[in-house]
Chains A and B, each alone.
Chain A
Amino acid sequence: MSDQATEPRRFIFHDLKGRRWPRLRRVLVLWALVVFGATVWFIWSLLVRPELKLPRSLRDMKGQLKAVIKNADVPHDRNALNWQKYYEQSPAAQERLARIQTQIRKPKPQNGEIRLGYYVDWDPNSFASLEEHAASLTHIAPEWFSLVETDSRLVIEPDAKLERFCGARGLAMMPILSNLSGNEWQPEAVENLANGPADKRERVIRKVVNEVLRAKAGGVLVDWEQVDPAYRDSYTDLLEDLAAALHEQNKELWFSVALGDDFSTFDIETMSDFIDRFVAVLHDENSASDEPGPIAGLDWVSGWLTVLGDYGDRDQWIGALGAYAYDWNVTRKRAETISFKDAMSRASYAGVDQSGDKVEVIAPSYNAEFDFNDGEDEHTISFLDAISLHNQLRLVRDAKFAGVGIVRLGTEDPQIWDVLEMRGGATKTNLRALSRLKASDTITHVGRGEVVTVDETRDDGTRVVNLEPNGMLTARYTDFATYPILYHQGAAGDHEVAITFDDGPDPDWTPKILDILKARGVKACFFIVGKNAEDHPRLVQRIVAEGHEIGNHTYYHANLALMSPLRMKLELNMTQRVIESITGCSTTLFRPPYNADSTPTSLAELAPLRLAQDELGYTVVLEKVDPQDWARPGAATIVQRVKELRGDGNIVLLHDAGGDRSQTVEALPKIIDYLETRGDRIVSLSELLNIPRQDLMPPLEQSSAQRVERMVAGTGFRIWHGIVEFFWSFMIVATGLVVLRTLLVAWLAWRHHSRDETGPVLAAPALSIIIAAFNEGKVIARTLQSVIETDYAGDFEIIVVDDGSKDDTAAEVTRVSASEPRVRLLRQANRGKAAALSHGLANARHGMIVFLDADTLFERRTLGELVKPFANPLVGAVSGHARVGNLQTFVSRCQSLEYICGFNLDRRAYTDWNCITVVPGAISAFRKSAIDAAGGFSHDTLAEDTDLTLTLQRLGYRIEYAPDAIAWTEAPATFRALAKQRFRWAFGTMQCLWKHRELVFSSRFPALGWFSLPSVWFFQIGLVALTPLVDAILISSVLFGYAAAIWYYIVIFIVLDIFLATLACWMEGEPLRQAWRIVPMRLAYRPLLAWVIWKSILRALKGALVGWGKLERTGAATVQA
């Protein structure tokens, strides 16, 4: 048994021939090259653009719009004369008939013109226009109040942003009080308020006035439509009350007067006594609910101006002029209000200027109009521009009105602002300026639907502007301006709708959703996140197998707005490759994550879409029906929101991942019910777009060219996946083991601690105390003194072996021994600690040996406690309780804690199962016979104490721990010293583990072989060696937003550490609060330990001889007891 120890051995790990390292190095370099090459290849495969063929039908969007030339006649303005029947009605007109009109109107100051801008909060262009042209405006009319429902409920929707803006820019707000709810006029709300009880009316008026005061508005602009003229007088009363309440607070009441058949609904003449301003709606001669026609024909405008002039004072009037366009879909009989720029883009796309159709602002209507076909439906667009506004403005100013309104901010021809500032007749310069149509960054919209194509082309246009002798301007559009265009497709029929799911697949929710879709026979589109697809390939396969479509939603659900084009390319390509490798087909569908709504409003938002579309070949799918199910508002609310939003669009967005989707799962069948009940057909995107599925998701065979790239990418993903998978399994196993070990150690230690030590007591045996000293002159005397002053009852000798010290160690010892005969000094040339101890041992006279480090101080009872366990004849060695005596530095304080809750707690636990792996050199006691049996100290490792301990274990001795045998030792005070010490420990430990490797999992030593030695292998070497890798993965996880999963592990580790530290401190009677120090300690130790372990591993692999000399401790620090 002892042959291993006695036979002279080469130093463990020492490679005499020096071949191991060069061989190993060659293998390593080769591997590194292969891995590097493979990685580069992989990344390259991701950067190669997947060959996506955007279906032609989507690409050729320009081809779909065609100009249509209808008969070249100027459109008949059938409403142009409808003002005439009101012309003779007014009392004023009656008067005029009675006598020659000689009324003198006071001239209005030219510069006092009111400029009322109509504003909406739902169109960002409205605010942009307001910001830009605030200086040209005096009043702002925002949507604010509405009277709704039969019970005349007053809904107030304040707009804080506008309040602030108007306040800052000195603009008077005239919030609109309408009877509009959504898109529906609610006449009963007004009628019943006018006819209803007085208290109700007072309440509403008070609310309005209070809100006006709160918002610091200038008053209210009443806009009531479709109300019954039968109650004319009641309205007058109601408005009079409202006016009185407002006037009392110095606020104004303005009133919007609709022209046409509703003109006589209100008693304008009477109302002119208390209404501060009438706003004549000089537009919507033909509106969205009418057949196509001029929006504000000049004859119509001028006729109505004539009528209006007879009511009230002229300077009570404001003429609200249109600055927008209508796009009538003649085929489907519906119309859309669009901006001037939208009209330009549509005309330009349809090639109206190339078609020979004349688009002109000329007499009689001075409203331009053109027709086109969008591939399915016929459209007529009538638009108002700066030219038409110029002409109307002239009439309004001639009529001596107090000012004009612009309906509305955000839809206007930008040049109306120049026109507004033109005084007198238009000059040549004016005409030239007006003829240039300048493109801008405003995004315009063409088509309908939520599948969009971006066209950032911008192009100036031209209109030929002429001044007619009557002062009116005419224009002919020869070249339409083009603005950045979002071309919309996929509106399909009124009853086709698609359901889409973002962010999946998810193992919990996607299958549930697929089950529902399957049961209901509904096909959907899943915009998947590459990462999730890679994690759950089976789900992706199932999605495709069940007939659903798949779209790309980036790899990490990344925000495109915040990323470089390269990253975006990587995100999309990685996802594409994942989809390809799982499904065997590509996808051309893409939806950007974090798409708050489906309408990008700035060029910046357009850029990533264009990149996806033009460079990567994707079709961008947005959505308008977004019930925000991800926020978990409740299933009922999700359904309700779908109901409310369904009218706005036909692509529904839901989520099948990213959290608890139980509400979505609950809502989905109800959403399907609702859609089907309302008569919708739920279709796939390919059906919605009328494009074959294989065009949207082309099978891979079609593009065999990229087989290699796909294979590389696929393999790369699988390997990466494997690594990540392994990492997670490892984390889980490691955590489990740590928990197990911690609990076991805690339990054993606690059991040991609470056991009553009443074993047989040995009469104090004679002891030989051996101290190896190397340059310990400063401390040796005190060390000796601490031993000499012991309470120990028995006889003992102290042998100091001076291992060739160069200082006054020997002298110090001699000085002590002079007065203390029990102290002996042996001297030898420097041969290392093991040799010194052997030397001392050889000269020991007694059968019990105590080893003591030269810088370690005993307490009085230490010796007695230390030898107590020898009462048991099977005990071969006893470990004392070493504690850190120098607490001056952070490093040593850390070690103090480490000794308390690491080494000592472990020993306490191990002793019970007799599996202590190391009896520390600082304080230990041995039977001389045991050491002899072990063959003395070996010289082939750096950790002679561990080696000896393990040898004794092999021989069947018990190794005990004596917690009350306390010795205060000196710990390295700096990181450098600590690292040096730990390297020696680590290397020594590895040597011992290697030397005694057959003990591991040996059935003869169950506790040692299955518990304490594997613990050292796994926790002190394996786990520590892996920390850099683990940390790297942790950091990357945090960077890629997967921190949440990591936190569990971190928290578990910290809690365990603190728990164990607290337990240890409690057992040792240390203040519990220092247990917290374990946290910074771990942080500091982590890299240090990893470094020494790797250094040790490298040394071991290199097989170099690790010498004693340079690793010998310096041992000069002061030690405090």
Chain B
Amino acid sequence: MKTLAFTKWRTAARGAVALAIACGLAACDAGPSQNPKADFRNQKLALPSQGVYAGAYIDFGEKEDDVTLEGIEKFEQMVGKHQAIVASSSYWGEGSFPDANVRLISRHGSVPLIFWSPWDKPYVEGRGPDRFSLTSIIAGEHDAYIDRWADGARDFGGPIIVSFANEMNGSWFPWSGLHYGGENEIPGATPKAYEGPETFKKAWRHVVDRVRARGAANVQWVLHLMDYSMPQEEWNLAAQYYPGSDYCDWLGISLYGSQFPSDAEWAPFLPLFDWPYTELTQLDPSKPIMLCEWGVGELPHLGSKADWIRDGFRIMKDPKYSRLKAIVFWHERWQNSEGDDAGKYSNLRVNSSPESLAAYREGVADPFFLGEPILRPAK
């Protein structure tokens, strides 16, 4: 009966990373199973030669992990398309692998994208490192948890895309490079290396190594940055955070247009996308690129959300960006609690207005945007 007082924070990012490569094992049964969608085991997600996987994060609650079939189906009905990817979070403070969620999502016929975020309750941005700090990860303090989580992922067996410690080039999350020495140069390193990103990369490799060691070959890793770094300085750019081609399967970004009523101006889609895309392509010559999150607020006083969405779909189809292989829309509405925006809402839902919904439906209806994951038997 009362507004769920969400506390949302100052930033666009909610995020996700990851990349990934398929894993899984040899196809077990070739025959059609009773429930064809029920089992993604031993299959891996293939890259579409043409087109882009379309997916969404669908307002899964405060911890972003309250995944329900009803929620997914309602969203799909609303946008008129099945989701190839369904995103949700797994916070380290919960201490568990989100088994029910990944199984639900894959039984539904989608590939789960998990934002695996190393932070502790109360999950509030801007608080700096907590007990899940990158250094503690590197020191092996959370290996037991990581192993447990990896075991869960392995036992699940279907393809999962994991975005570990996303938007690290922003300033709001406890795992931001900013909190780990940031721009401090590491003496004697050539080329130049900076403490913040280096710490991040160590932690990343540590986590990936451990998960792989547990046999969770079904996890694809996406390195998930913010479109523009904050601060946008040399030490904080994507290249600094790149852990190496062996350590990720996808390269990704969060891309948000204007979200807050108090925003000064409207940010069009193209500049938000073009430069970060190019930045990512330079990290590796071939890895696929993902919009791990994309979205925009319904702020008629600033600009047209419908147009922004339309632009987005149009631009993403441009052959110039042919390495883009997946996009995940951030479908959420929250009430702000700070500053001029206190009490007001940021409505990033696709259905924030009939026009926005129509634009999204129309855009995603293009068969270029794929609603079904393409699965191949894992070798």
Write out, one digit per residue, whether chain A residues 271-295 have a CB within 8 A of any chain B CB (1) or not (0): 0000000000100100111100000
The residues of A that contact B345 with a CB separation of less than 8 Å are: 187, 228-230
Q: Contact check, B353 vs A150: say whether CB atoms are below 8 A apart.
A: yes
Write out, one digit per residue, whether chain A residues 138-153 have a CB within 8 A of any chain B CB (1) or not (0): 0000000000011100
B1-56 residues with Cβ-Cβ distance < 8 A to A are: 1-5, 34-35, 37-38
The residues of B that contact A519 with a CB separation of less than 8 Å are: 34
Going nearest first, the 5 A-B pairs with the smallest beta carbon separation are A678-B69, A150-B351, A228-B345, A677-B107, A287-B2
Write out, one digit per residue, whether chain A residues 198-235 have a CB within 8 A of any chain B CB (1) or not (0): 00000000000000000000000000011011100000
A679 to B38, CA, bound (A): 11
Q: Contact check, A261 vs B5: say whether CB atoms are below 8 A apart.
A: yes
Q: Given A643-B70, A676-B38, decide whether A260 and B333 contact each other with a Cβ distance below 8 A.
A: no
A676 to B38, CA, bound (A): 8
The residues of A that contact B108 with a CB separation of less than 8 Å are: 677
**A673 contacts partner chain B, Cβ-Cβ < 8 Å:** yes
The residues of B that contact A647 with a CB separation of less than 8 Å are: 70
The residues of A that contact B35 with a CB separation of less than 8 Å are: 669, 673, 676-677
Interchain residue pairs with CB less than 8 A apart (29): A150-B352, A150-B353, A151-B354, A187-B333, A187-B345, A188-B349, A192-B354, A225-B2, A226-B4, A228-B344, A228-B345, A228-B347, A229-B343, A229-B345, A258-B2, A260-B2, A260-B3, A262-B3, A289-B4, A519-B34, A643-B70, A669-B35, A673-B38, A676-B38, A677-B38, A677-B69, A678-B69, A678-B104, A679-B69
User: Which residue of B has the minimal Cβ distance to A673?
Assistant: B35
The residues of A that contact B104 with a CB separation of less than 8 Å are: 677-679
A498 to B59, CA, bound (A): 29
A225 to B2, CA, bound (A): 7
A238-278 residues with Cβ-Cβ distance < 8 A to B are: 258, 260-262, 264-265
User: Which residue of A has the minimal Cβ distance to B352?
Assistant: A188
The residues of A that contact B349 with a CB separation of less than 8 Å are: 188
**B272 contacts partner chain A, Cβ-Cβ < 8 Å:** no
User: Which residue of A has the minimal Cβ distance to B344?
Assistant: A230
Q: Contact check, A229 vs B107: say whether CB atoms are below 8 A apart.
A: no
**B261 contacts partner chain A, Cβ-Cβ < 8 Å:** yes
A1050-1095 residues with Cβ-Cβ distance < 8 A to B are: none
The residues of B that contact A643 with a CB separation of less than 8 Å are: 70, 73
A residues with a Cβ closer than 8 A to B are 149-151, 187-188, 191-192, 195-196, 225-226, 228-230, 258, 260-262, 264-265, 281, 284, 287-290, 495, 519-520, 643, 647, 669, 673-674, 676-679
Set A192, A230, A678: member contacting B70, Cβ < 8 A: A678
Set A230, A264, A679: member contacting B103, Cβ < 8 A: A679
User: Which residue of A has the minimal Cβ distance to B104?
Assistant: A679
Q: Contact check, B347 vs A192: say whether CB atoms are below 8 A apart.
A: no
The residues of A that contact B352 with a CB separation of less than 8 Å are: 150, 188, 191
The residues of B that contact A261 with a CB separation of less than 8 Å are: 3, 5, 343
Set A192, A230, A281: member contacting B261, Cβ < 8 A: A230
B residues with a Cβ closer than 8 A to A are 1-5, 34-35, 37-38, 68-70, 73, 100, 103-104, 107-108, 261, 300, 333, 343-345, 347, 349, 351-354, 357
A1098 to B124, CA, bound (A): 100
Q: Given A643-B70, A673-B35, A677-B69, decide whether A226 and B3 contact each other with a Cβ distance below 8 A.
A: yes
User: Which residue of A has the minimal Cβ distance to B341?
Assistant: A230
Q: Give me 19 other A-B pairs in contact (C-beta within 8 A), A150-B354, A265-B343, A677-B37 excluded.
A: A150-B352, A187-B333, A188-B351, A191-B352, A195-B300, A195-B353, A225-B1, A225-B3, A230-B344, A258-B2, A281-B1, A284-B1, A284-B2, A676-B107, A677-B38, A677-B108, A679-B69, A679-B104, A679-B107
User: Which residue of B has the minimal Cβ distance to A259?
Assistant: B2
The residues of A that contact B5 with a CB separation of less than 8 Å are: 261
Q: Give the Cβ gap from A148 to chain B, nearest Cβ, in Å.
A: 11
Q: Which of A287, A673, A677 has the most CB of B within 10 A?
A: A677
Set B2, B70, B261, B300: member contacting A290, Cβ < 8 A: B2
The residues of B that contact A674 with a CB separation of less than 8 Å are: 69
The residues of B that contact A287 with a CB separation of less than 8 Å are: 1-2
Q: Contact check, B3 vs A229: say whether CB atoms are below 8 A apart.
A: no
The residues of A that contact B351 with a CB separation of less than 8 Å are: 149-150, 188
Q: Which of B35, B37, B300, B349 has the most CB of A within 10 A?
A: B35
A353 to B248, CA, bound (A): 62
A608 to B1, CA, bound (A): 37
Q: Which of B1, B104, B261, B345 has the most CB of A within 10 A?
A: B1
The residues of B that contact A264 with a CB separation of less than 8 Å are: 343
Q: Given A187-B345, A230-B344, decide whether A678 and B68 contact each other with a Cβ distance below 8 A.
A: yes
The residues of A that contact B100 with a CB separation of less than 8 Å are: 495, 679
Q: Contact check, B34 vs A669: say whether CB atoms are below 8 A apart.
A: yes
A262 to B342, CA, bound (A): 11
User: Which residue of A has the minimal Cβ distance to B69?
Assistant: A678
User: Which residue of A has the minimal Cβ distance to B67?
Assistant: A679
Q: Given A643-B70, A678-B69, decide whether A192 and B353 contact each other with a Cβ distance below 8 A.
A: yes
User: Which residue of A has the minimal Cβ distance to B353?
Assistant: A192
Q: Contact check, B3 vs A288: say whether CB atoms are below 8 A apart.
A: no
Q: Contact check, A150 vs B357: say whether CB atoms are below 8 A apart.
A: yes
User: Which residue of B has the minimal Cβ distance to A286?
Assistant: B2
Q: Give the Cβ gap from B60 to chain A, nearest Cβ, in Å.
A: 13
A677 to B70, CA, bound (A): 10
The residues of B that contact A151 with a CB separation of less than 8 Å are: 354
A192 to B351, CA, bound (A): 10
Q: Give the Cβ gap from B156 to chain A, nearest Cβ, in Å.
A: 13
A289 to B6, CA, bound (A): 11
User: Which residue of B has the minimal Cβ distance to A225?
Assistant: B3
A228 to B342, CA, bound (A): 11
Q: Which of B4, B352, B354 has the most CB of A within 10 A?
A: B354
The residues of A that contact B357 with a CB separation of less than 8 Å are: 150
A380 to B353, CA, bound (A): 40
Q: Contact check, B347 vs A188: say whether CB atoms are below 8 A apart.
A: yes
A230 to B335, CA, bound (A): 11
User: Which residue of A has the minimal Cβ distance to B342?
Assistant: A261
A191 to B68, CA, bound (A): 26
User: Which residue of A has the minimal Cβ distance to B301?
Assistant: A230
Q: Give the Cβ gap from B201 to chain A, nearest Cβ, in Å.
A: 36
The residues of A that contact B333 with a CB separation of less than 8 Å are: 187
Q: Give the Cβ gap from B40 to chain A, nearest Cβ, in Å.
A: 12
The residues of A that contact B69 with a CB separation of less than 8 Å are: 674, 677-679
User: Which residue of A has the minimal Cβ distance to B36?
Assistant: A673
The residues of A that contact B68 with a CB separation of less than 8 Å are: 678
Q: Give the Cβ gap from B31 to chain A, nearest Cβ, in Å.
A: 14
The residues of B that contact A678 with a CB separation of less than 8 Å are: 68-70, 104
A673 to B34, CA, bound (A): 9
Q: Which of B2, B3, B357 has the most CB of A within 10 A?
A: B2
User: Which residue of B has the minimal Cβ distance to A192?
Assistant: B353
The residues of B that contact A196 with a CB separation of less than 8 Å are: 353-354
A264 to B343, CA, bound (A): 8
A441 to B69, CA, bound (A): 40
User: Which residue of B has the minimal Cβ distance to A675?
Assistant: B69
A187 to B4, CA, bound (A): 13
The residues of A that contact B34 with a CB separation of less than 8 Å are: 519-520, 669
A607 to B124, CA, bound (A): 54
User: Which residue of A has the minimal Cβ distance to B73?
Assistant: A643
Q: Give the Cβ gap from A529 to chain B, nearest Cβ, in Å.
A: 30
